[in-house]
Amino acid sequence: MHIRIFSTAESLAHALARNVARAVSVNPSLVLGLPTGRTPIPFYRELIRLHRAGRLDCARVRTFNLDEFLGVSPRDPRSYRAFMQRHFFDHVNVAAAQIHFLDGMAGDVARECARYERAIIRAGGLDLQILGLGTNGHIGFNEPGPALVARTHRTSLRAATRRANAGLFGGRLTAVPREALSMGVATILHARRIVLMATGGAKARSVARMVRGPVTPRVPASFLQLHRQTEVWLDRAAAGRLDAARFRDLR
């Protein structure tokens, strides 16, 4: 794993946005895997700024979001789809037809998951998957447990994850769906390049377990150790439990 540590969450977001803008200028039809959550908001804000400054043209970019709540319509303001519209898509020029999302209202869930996998393959695979990290070590909605599902699937959310997402549901835990659809760990690992971003001290423990611990479904993010091009972008607080001497070996 390639570890990069930034002094603040803001400087991380700016550097990553510039990095992605460069990747898009090299390959204008880049296939981007995108996360939701609080962590990427400053990154999206900076991408929007670069777009407005004429330094990022998304006209041919294709995007696939990681996950969506089950039973929540894409038009519902609490959906991840609506989150992405608010924080990113409404402000840049990604073509609507090039924005891909799992449909939380799909009647046939297995079919919807298979459709998503096929759509990613048809796009030529993910060039760059950006990830956040759950405090319990989840990526997307791949939750810790005795086993992981490799491909896009229906999944039950752990209490900690539902609590972390309560903000979208007016702070009401009982309103947070118990299930979701998510890319699987293999879907993520097939991306050519992966950048996981984590900021804040609350993530320090799962960052350390992801980077240093055994590869285990108890820490889904630890599977990123198996990918040859995983970059872990951290602020100082999130890197708080990595000792400098050790992570140098991991570059």
Q: Which is nearer to ligand GLP, 165 or 230 (CB)?
A: 165
Instruction: Decide if residue 206 touches ligand GLP (CB under 6 A).
Output: no
Stretch that binds ligand GLP, among 45-53, 105-113, 145-153, 161-169 (CB under 6 A): 161-169
Among the listed residues 136, 155, 161, 187, the single contact to ligand GLP using CB under 6 A: 161
Instruction: Decide if residue 234 touches ligand GLP (CB under 6 A).
Output: no
Query: Is residue 136 annotated as a catalytic residue, yes or no?
Result: yes
For residues 52 to 71, the per-residue mask of contacts with ligand GLP, x marking binding by CB under 6 A and - elsewhere, is --------------xx----
The footprint of ligand GLP on residues 17-56 (CB under 6 A) is 35-39
Instruction: Decide if residue 143 touches ligand GLP (CB under 6 A).
Output: no
Q: Which of 46, 68, 103, 138 is catalytic?
A: 138
**Nearest-angstrom CA–CA distance, 137 and 206:** 5
Query: Is residue 138 annotated as a catalytic residue, yes or no?
Result: yes
Interface positions with ligand GLP (CB under 6 A) = 35-39, 66-67, 132-134, 140-141, 161, 164-165
